[in-house]
């Protein structure tokens, strides 16, 4: 008898019918925009209808949680955030800190979702009609990935990385910016944050240099007076010394894309000169970017973190007064070593 009761009980419990959610009853969210107006937060959610179509729902709320709850007043389905691809902060969000705990605590948001800042309203970015994919979140992710992979002019900031940098007292956040140009989505480089507030921006070259300095490049294109080259295998090693000297050693391999002057590319000395030309260009650009970062007084490269990891005793002495006394007194020593190992298909220059 007991066995029969057990079997009946198991059938009831294990049938999988309890508390189930039909796929048709789920609102699968792929994109999320956050803005602020006089009524508090505005949450815009892109919900996938099918593989070609999506709907944007926008609601207000005093808090982020309230705005999320209010979504149910206009969205008839259960909101499912596990497939969320992008989170976009609008230009009117003055401090991203207030939202971080919400993302970190929400069980169904994955940690690899990409985070962007926009110079427009996030709602407008999500509602923009683009030329390519009609599901905007997928389009944003593809454009960002393409910009990062082929140009190294942005970074793919995941929620995990954002949280880790926020929790790290020795480093400041850099966040990619997304914008609309002629109805087309464009990744417009990056913003420098200090204490989670935007204080400055990195332009295209600065963004590439930032990626070089943080050892986060895929491929990048360098244009100098005499040539264009595609650099890959870029590796950067930063060593810090107790006397505030910072040694930056950059190594890269390059492929010639275009030569602008008639040169004998079979001559070793010519190649060495071209290598020098690229090295000087990178060095100058990196110096400019470092100046910009120093002027912003925001340690986005993580020099203090480098001291923490490699010169712990010295770190203990400087950490409390880092921005007041030390950060702007750092002496950067940059060495660049480029090897143009591939000249492309042709051995001669057509000029």
Partner 1 sequence: MSNLKPLELFSLIIIISIASFVGIGFNVALNISGQDTYLAIIIAFLLGIPSILGFILIFNYEKELSLNFKLQKLFGEVLGTIINYILIIVAFIIGITYMYNLINFTLNHYLDNTPIFIIGLIYLLLIVYTNFKGLTTISRMTFILLIINFVLFMFPLFNLMPKTNIDNLKPLLTNNFNNILKSAFNIVLLTINNIFILLIIPQKRFKNTKKINKYIILAYIISIIILFFISFITLNILGPRLSLFYQDPEYIVLKQVNLFNFLNRIENIISMQWLNGLYISITMIIYYISNSIKKDNDKKIIPVLAGTIVFILSMVIFKNNTIFYNFIMNILPQIRLIAYILFIIICITILIKKKKNNDKSLF
- Site residues (CB under 8 A) for partner 1? 6, 9-10, 13-14, 18-19, 21, 104, 107, 110-112, 160, 163-164, 167-168, 308-310, 312
Measured CA to CA, the distance from residue 351 to residue 349 in angstroms comes to 6
Nearer to partner 1, 94 or 101 (CB): 101
Structure-token match 């890959």, residue found: 232
Pairing verdict, β 114-118 and 86-89: parallel
Nearer to partner 1, 18 or 22 (CB): 18
Tokens of 200: 């400055």
Q: How far is the CB of 82 from partner 1 (least distance, A)?
A: 8
DSSP 13-51: HHSS-TT---GGGEEEEEEEEEEEETTEEEEEEEEESSS
Nearer to partner 1, 14 or 350 (CB): 14
Q: How far is the CB of 172 from partner 1 (least distance, A)?
A: 15
Q: Which residues, 6 or more positions from 297, have their beta carbon under 8 angstroms from its beta carbon? A: 194, 199, 323, 327, 328
Pairing verdict, β 227-240 and 219-223: antiparallel
Nearer to partner 1, 14 or 347 (CB): 14
DSSP, collapsed to helix, strand or coil, labels residue 308 as helix
Q: How far is the CB of 248 from partner 1 (least distance, A)?
A: 16
Nearer to partner 1, 167 or 257 (CB): 167
Q: How far is the CB of 327 from partner 1 (least distance, A)?
A: 20
Measured CA to CA, the distance from residue 94 to residue 324 in angstroms comes to 24
Nearer to partner 1, 164 or 342 (CB): 164
Report helix, strand and coil shares of the chain as percent, to nearest 5: 35, 30, 30
> Torsion angle of alpha carbons 318, 323, 326, 330, nearest 10°?
130
Nearer to partner 1, 104 or 349 (CB): 104
Q: How far is the CB of 324 from partner 1 (least distance, A)?
A: 23
Nearer to partner 1, 110 or 194 (CB): 110
Q: Tell me which residue of 341, 246, 233, 344 sits closest to 303, measured CA to CA.
A: 246
Q: How far is the CB of 53 from partner 1 (least distance, A)?
A: 24
Q: How far is the CB of 13 from partner 1 (least distance, A)?
A: 6
Measured CA to CA, the distance from residue 57 to residue 30 in angstroms comes to 12
Q: How far is the CB of 176 from partner 1 (least distance, A)?
A: 20
Nearer to partner 1, 171 or 188 (CB): 171
Contact status, residue 238 vs residue 319, Cβ threshold 8 Å: no
C-alpha R_g of the chain: 25
Measured CA to CA, the distance from residue 69 to residue 67 in angstroms comes to 5
Q: How far is the CB of 14 from partner 1 (least distance, A)?
A: 7
């Amino acid at each position: 008898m007991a066995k029969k009761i057990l079997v009946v009980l198991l059938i009831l419990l294990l049938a999988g019918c309890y508390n189930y959610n039909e796929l048709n009853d789920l609102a699968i969210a792929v994109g999320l925009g956050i803005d602020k107006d006089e009524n508090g937060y505005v949450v815009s959610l892109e919900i996938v209808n099918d593989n070609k179509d999506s709907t944007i729902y926008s609601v207000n709320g005093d808090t982020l949680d309230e705005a999320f709850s209010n979504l149910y007043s206009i969205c008839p389905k259960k909101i499912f955030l596990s497939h969320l691809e992008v989170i976009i902060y609008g230009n009117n969000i003055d401090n991203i800190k207030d939202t971080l705990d919400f993302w970190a605590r929400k069980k169904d948001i994955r940690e690899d979702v990409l985070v962007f800042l926009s110079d427009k309203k996030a709602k407008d970015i999500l509602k923009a009609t683009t030329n390519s994919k009609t599901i905007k979140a997928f389009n944003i992710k593809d454009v960002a990935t393409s910009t990062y992979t082929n140009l190294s002019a942005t970074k793919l900031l995941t929620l995990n990385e954002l949280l880790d940098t926020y929790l790290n007292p020795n480093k400041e956040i850099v966040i990619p910016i997304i914008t609309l140009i002629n109805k087309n989505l464009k990744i417009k480089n990056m913003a420098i944050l200090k204490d989670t507030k935007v204080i400055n921006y990195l332009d295209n070259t600065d963004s590439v240099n930032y990626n070089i300095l943080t050892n986060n490049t895929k491929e990048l294109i360098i244009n100098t007076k005499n040539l264009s080259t595609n650099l890959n295998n870029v590796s950067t090693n930063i060593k810090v010394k107790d006397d505030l000297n910072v040694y930056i050693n950059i190594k890269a391999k390059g492929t010639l894309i275009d030569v602008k002057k008639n040169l004998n590319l079979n001559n070793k000395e010519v190649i060495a000169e071209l290598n020098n030309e690229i090295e000087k260009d990178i060095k100058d650009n990196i110096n400019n970017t470092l100046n910009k970062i120093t002027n912003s007084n925001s340690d986005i490269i993580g020099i203090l973190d480098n001291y923490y990891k490699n010169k712990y005793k010295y770190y203990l002495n400087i950490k409390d007064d880092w921005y007041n006394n030390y950060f702007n007194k750092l002496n950067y020593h940059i060495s660049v070593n480029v090897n143009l190992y591939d000249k492309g298909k042709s051995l001669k220059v057509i000029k």
